[in-house]
Amino acid sequence: MHATIALTAPAWHLAAVPKALPPQKSEDTPPETCTLHQNRRDSMFEINGFDTAGVVKLKRLSLAAALKKAKELVEDGCWDVRVVDPGGHVYTSFEEQAA
């Protein structure tokens, strides 16, 4: 006599097997940021002005570099050029401040 063995597990046995967690969606996990890049972005000096094509917006890491670029823009014919530091201070007279 041969016995037939059922290979299917009872329903209560399958319920005891833990289910795998679904993968997290990208919006569920906060984006990773690099502190170095974040600090650099926050401490940038902005140069704003206008030229014949429209708005000019540039950024530089130092005040000296920003003032130098602003002076170059004015010499090239841009107008309403200003430099704004990370604290919000506005520079508009580049000839005296760039020296």
Domain coordinates in residue numbering, the chain? 34-97
In the chain, which ranges are E strands?
Answer: 45-51, 54-60, 79-84, 90-91
- For residue 29, what pLDDT is reported? 59
Positive or negative torsion for Cα 19, 21, 23, 27: positive
- Phi, psi (degrees; rounded to nearest 5) at 45: -95, 125
The model's pLDDT over 39-88, given as tens digits with 9 standing for 90+, comes to 555 789 999 999 999 999 999 999 999 999 999 999 999 999 999 999 99
Residue corresponding to tokens 């000019």: 56
- For residue 92, what pLDDT is reported? 86
Residue corresponding to tokens 């940038």: 44
Whole-structure pTM over 0.95, yes or no? no
Name the pLDDT band for 38 (thresholds 50, 70, 90): very low
